[in-house]
Amino acid sequence: MIKLHDLEFEPYIPEENIFSAIDKIAEELNSIYAGKRPVFIGVLNGSFMFASEIIKRFNGDCEVSFVKMGSYEGTTTTGTVKTLVGLNQDLKGREVVLLEDIVDTGNTLVEIDQILKNAEVADYKVATLFFKPEAYKKKVPVQIKGIEIPNKFIVGFGLDYDGLGRNLTQVYKRKENRMTNLVLFGPPGAGKGTQATILKDKYNLIHISTGDVFRFNIKNKTELGLSAKSFIDKGLLVPDEVTINMLNAEVEKNEGANGFIFDGFPRTEAQALALNSYLESRGTEVHAMIALEVEDEVLVQRLLERGKTSGRKDDADEAVIRNRISVYYNETAILKNFYQKQDKYYGVDGVGSINEITERLSAVIDELMK
């Protein structure tokens, strides 16, 4: 186990496996470029160790460049004009091998692809030491892959965490807290509150309801509560930053918990990204968005029936009920899409007895906890 800055990392890929993968890549490159003189381009900063090992193993003549992506317009960084800093040779008609330490999102690869096409190279291939198939969604082909890995945060052999770890000769992955974190959703009348209470007890999870957190902070006049109240009193929406800070404080109160059920949050993609970022900083993540799915007419009848005893005016007016349901779907459609793209969305039939619905939810959670 090692610690870099504030995060702990555990051994993941030993040195011998890395060099075995490099030998295999080098063998393939020697076969493809036998009798040719390719240009090897290492993409900095991460590829320096991988590139040096590949170039040492190449049997023929070759040229070598190391480049970095830059964004320039004159001397001002704009984020829109892309260039390869360090590329000082004419590549027209040349065969190029792009050496990457890791291909995950592929954003840099897309930019380099266009630059090389504009340079009129005869052909180029991408050789990467590590490849994350779950994360890579781009169309640029990656022809030569060393080791395929899950979408985990790794350091070592050129890869870093905030500047540290590049010199490690084996690869480490971030130590993950064994937690199960769920985003629980359901339209009005779906029984989400009832199920959240059952599930938190069954799996020993912490139930964090946005509404409860707001009420607690405002009632107890905490700094965050006073901040939230100042917006509410003006009829304004509470900024995401205040809301996420409240939830962060709840998570931190329960250090060492088995996991959390987030109820009523996130509501927007920006909030979902903020929650992801915060949980990642603590070595964990949202594992699933679970939504209770119930037909509108069933919901309307449930709420009208509940209205007979609840005393809530919004449970007694059918037009209000239908509007609440419509608002729910408009809000959650974005989040459903957000989590579906990560294969983290689970729709669960919310019709049946309380026990039947609990069993369906439990089947999803049990699978996640394997």
Q: Is 324 a catalytic residue?
A: yes
Radius of gyration of the chain (CA): 26
306, 322, 344, 360: the catalytic one is 306
CA 353, CA 351: separation in Å to the nearest integer? 7
Q: Which two tokens stand for residue 132?
A: 């994350």
DSSP 69-105: EEE-BTTB--SSSEEEET--S--TT-EEEEEEEEESS
Concerning whether 166 is annotated as a catalytic residue, the answer is no
- C-alpha to C-alpha distance for 209 and 85, rounded to whole angstroms: 49
Q: For residue 171, which phi and psi values (nearest 5 degrees)?
A: -105, 140
Determine which one of 202, 215, 312, 341 is catalytic: 312
Number of neighbouring beta carbons within 10 Å of residue 350:
23
Please calculate the CA angle 41-47-51 and round it to the nearest 5 degrees.
60
Residue position matching structure tokens 């020993």: 204
Which residue out of 94, 132, 174, 192 is catalytically annotated?
192
Buried b (16+ CB within 10 A) or exposed e, 191-227: bbeebbebbbeebebbbbbbeebbeebbeeeeebbeb
Positive or negative CA dihedral for 238, 244, 247, 248? negative
Residue 131: both structure tokens together:
């490849």
Q: Three-class SS of residue 37?
A: coil
Annotated catalytic residue within 94, 132, 174, 324: 324
Q: Say if CB 123 and CB 93 are below 8 A apart.
A: no
Q: What are phi and psi of 304, to 5 degrees?
A: -65, -40
Q: Which two tokens stand for residue 300?
A: 């309307």
| DSSP bridge pairs for 293 | 349
Which tokens hold the place of 250? 């709840």
Tokens of 150: 């899950």
Answer yes or no: 192 catalytic.
Answer: yes
Whether the bond between 254 and the residue before it is cis, its omega within 30 degrees of 0, is no
The set of catalytic residues is 192, 267, 306, 312, 324
